[in-house]
Amino acid sequence: MELQSLKKAVIVPFKTLRNTTFARLYFAQIASLFGDAFTWLGLALLTYEISPNNAAAILASALTLRVTAYIIFSPFAGVVSEKLRRKNILLITQLARMAIVCMLPFVTQEWQVYGLIFALNVFAAFFTPTYRAIIPQIVEKEIYREANGLSMATFQLLSVFGPALAGIVAVWLGAKQIFFVNGATLFIATLLIFTIPMTALQKGVNTDNIPPGNTWSEVLKGIRLLFGNKILRFSLSIEFISAIAGAMVLVNTIGLIKTSLQLDDKHYGWIMAVFGIGAAITAFLLGSLDKTKTRSVSLISGAILIGVAISFANFVPYTGLMFLWILAGIGQTLADMPSETLIGENIEPQDQGKVYGSHFAFSHLWWAIAYPIAGFLGTQFPEKEFLYGGLLTLTLAAIAVLVFKSSRSNRKKLGNRND
């Protein structure tokens, strides 16, 4: 019976591609994500060419600008997706991104890097929430979780294997030329989106009947709906906890491998690949395996799993770390992924755009807070940073669960009184 359930969990996500609208959007996403891998690898090479001694600082600043653009503009993107034709938003943002990445090979100054990267991610901040708001409208309700899982699993896999492929192409074509590869992938994505009928992407939203409300009030409404729902509020709290643990992995694994374990870059590459593969496989299967309404089983187990996994990282050899990082990747997906589907299942269709935009902004704000925490632990406690990061993760997870359980029990008591 368990074997049949697992087999079904593997097959069902691919059945979502029978929906032609979702399939075209999905393959457009693949093309776009491949291109992103080329851009960020090319950017690392480009910053080194511009200023070899200051490359790390330039790249770190560019990544900070990326998150900043998401935090500032994503909530407005959600509102715009409810006022304008979503197909137009997807096409305009993709074409703008294509133009920007094709300018990067001609950059010679730091300020040009910062300006183009910020602009690139402003358009990404409008594209991604719109894309995510479309999925629950175009796929059948019973396969929505599987469709979202397939999308997220693809994102995880390409984040692992995309840079490797980009590195191979960079050796073949050259560092600057790979930006044009991203331009080509974005053009392919644009063509795929262009073939989708306008009406198919407008399901759940009728722009003709939406009153011209104040944009700020609509943004605030999206934030209020996001935090006003108990299920989403708990999911967001777990995402914050997961971001702290995930930042520990991304920021401090390199020091653990090269300083504590005295290993080389190859071992670092493998350990991060294992982390990404664990996350991708879990994203692929999760939609079919967890059918609970609140996804609390996934959320709680994910926070605990990643917290426990990183807690032991300072005390195991490399083979043990491989096992722990598989568990950490699994935990990361269990803790992060449910929010996407919970918004689609708990928010009315006409409000989903603004809520997805708000969620996209806050999920990146969590990481902006988590990165400095990880950096502080890594520099102040270089031999026990993962232990302290894990204990912090588990403590916050326990507090979040207690608050969530308390609110649910209070709600049940109130319901009993009303009866």
Note whether 387 and 299 are same-domain residues: yes
Q: Is residue 121 part of a domain?
A: yes
**Residue span of the structural domain in which 148 resides:** 9-206
pLDDT at position 1, please? 40
Residues 201 and 237 in one domain: no
- Torsion region of 197: left, alpha or beta (phi above 0 gives left; psi -120 to 50 gives alpha): beta
Same domain flag for 17 and 164: yes
- Positive or negative, the Cα torsion across 23, 25, 28, 34? negative
Inter-CA distances, 19 with 89, 218, 248, 283, Å: 21, 31, 39, 20
**Residue 220 covered by a domain:** no
Average pLDDT on 285-293 reads 65
**From CA 303, how far away is CA 394, in angstroms rounded?**
7
Under the banding of pLDDT at 50, 70 and 90, the label for residue 314 is very high
Question: Sorting pLDDT into bands at 50, 70 and 90, what band is 241?
Answer: very high
Cβ-Cβ contacts under 8 Å for 318 (sequence gap 6 or more): 257, 261, 263, 267, 271
**Do residues 68 and 110 both lie within one domain?**
yes
Return the closest-CA partner of residue 129 out of 47, 34, 226. Answer: 226
- Max alpha carbon distance in the chain (Å)? 71
Element (H, E) at 67: helix 55-83
pLDDT tens digits along 68-94: 898 888 888 878 877 778 899 999 999
pLDDT at 296: 84
Pair 175, 285 in one domain? no
- pLDDT of 12 reads 54
Give residue 292's pLDDT: 67
Do 200 and 236 belong together in one domain?
A: no
Distance CA 21, CA 382 (A): 49
Same domain, 54 and 92: yes
Confidence of residue 130 (pLDDT cuts 50, 70, 90): confident
| Higher pLDDT, residue 77 or 257 | 257
**What is the distance of C-alpha 392 from the center of its chain?**
22
- My answer on whether 140 and 54 are in the same domain is yes
- 402, part of any domain: yes
Residue pair 400/303 in contact (Cβ under 8 Å)? The answer is yes
Q: How far apart are the first and last CA of the chain?
A: 40
- Residue that is last in its domain, among 156, 174, 206: 206
Residue 408 has pLDDT above 90, yes or no: no
Q: pLDDT (tens digit, 9 = 90+) per residue, 370-397?
A: 888 988 898 889 889 999 999 999 999 9
Give the least confident one: 36-50, 121-135, 247-261: 36-50
More confident residue, 2 or 131: 131
Question: How long, in residues, is the chain?
Answer: 419
Residue 409 has pLDDT above 70, yes or no: no
Q: What is the pTM of this model?
A: 0.78
* Of the candidate ranges 98-112, 212-226, 255-269, 355-369, the one whose mean pLDDT is the lowest: 212-226
Kindly report, residue by residue over 131-166, the tens digit of the pLDDT.
Answer: 888 888 888 877 777 787 778 777 777 776 776 677
CATH code at 281? Answer: 1.20.1250.20
Please tell me the predicted confidence (pLDDT) of residue 61.
Answer: 81
Query: Which of 150, 176, 206 lies at the terminal end of a domain, its last residue?
Result: 206
* Average pLDDT of the residues in 167-172: 75
Higher-pLDDT residue of 418 and 352 is: 352
pLDDT of residue 281: 82
User: What percentage of the chain reaches a pLDDT higher than 70?
Assistant: 88
Residue at a domain's end among 148, 176, 206? 206
The answer to whether residues 128 and 3 touch, using CB atoms and an 8 Å cutoff, is: no
Asked whether residue 415 carries a pLDDT value surpassing 90, the answer given is no
DSSP 174: -
Q: How many CB atoms lie within 10 A of CB 35?
A: 28
pLDDT per residue as tens digits for the range 338-361: 887 888 888 887 788 888 888 888
- What b/e sequence results for 82-101 when a residue is b if at least 16 CB atoms lie within 10 Å of its CB, and e otherwise? bbeebbebbbebbebbbebb
Within-domain flag for 156: yes
The more confident residue out of 90 and 175 is 90
Residue 136, CA distances (Å) to 83, 236, 412 in order: 18, 19, 30
Cα separations in angstroms, 347 against 22, 79, 125, 220, 416: 20, 14, 21, 15, 26
Q: Could you write out the DSSP letters of every residue in 207-276?
A: GGG-----HHHHHHHHHHHHHHSHHHHHHHHHHHHHHHHHHHHHHHHHHIIIIIS---HHHHHHHHHHHH
- The pLDDT value recorded for residue 138 is 86
DSSP state of 337: T
Q: Which pLDDT belongs to residue 289?
A: 62
265 part of a folded domain? yes
- State both tokens at 55: 């490359």
What is the reported pLDDT for 11? 55
Q: Is residue 78 part of a domain?
A: yes
Sign of CA dihedral 60, 61, 62, 68: positive
| Angle value at C-alpha 381, between 379 and 383, nearest 5 degrees | 110
- Structurally, how many domains does the chain consist of? 2
Same domain (yes/no): 315, 383: yes
pLDDT of residue 119: 94
Residue 240's pLDDT band (cuts 50, 70, 90): very high
Residue 215 lies in a domain: no
Question: What is the structure's pLDDT at 243?
Answer: 92
List, for residues 21-59, the tens digit of each pLDDT value.
889 998 998 888 888 878 877 887 788 788 887 776 777
Where do the H-state alpha helices sit in 139-229? Answer: 144-173, 178-194, 198-201, 215-228
CB neighbour class for 247 (10 Å; exposed up to 12, middle 13-18, buried from 19): buried
Kindly state whether residues 289 and 250 are assigned to the same domain.
yes
* Structure tokens, 143: 């396969």
* 114, 62 Cβ separation under 8 angstroms: yes
Q: How confident is the model at residue 3 (pLDDT cuts 50, 70, 90)?
A: very low
Say what the pLDDT of residue 142 is: 76
pLDDT (average), residues 206-223: 68
Position with higher pLDDT, 243 vs 54? 243
Q: How many CA atoms lie within 13 A of 42 on its CB side?
A: 30
**Segment 181-195, tens digit of pLDDT:** 889 999 999 999 999
Is residue 2 assigned to a domain?
no
Rounded to whole angstroms, the Cα distance separating 89 from 112 reads: 26
Query: Which tokens in the block code for residue 287?
Result: 């939609």
Residues 246 and 103 in one domain: no
**Mean pLDDT over each residue of the chain, to the nearest integer:** 83
Encoded tokens for 106:
């001609």
Q: Are residues 308 and 248 part of one domain?
A: yes
One-letter identity of residue 176: K
Amino acid at residue number 345: E
**Under 8 Å between Cβ of 64 and 118:** no
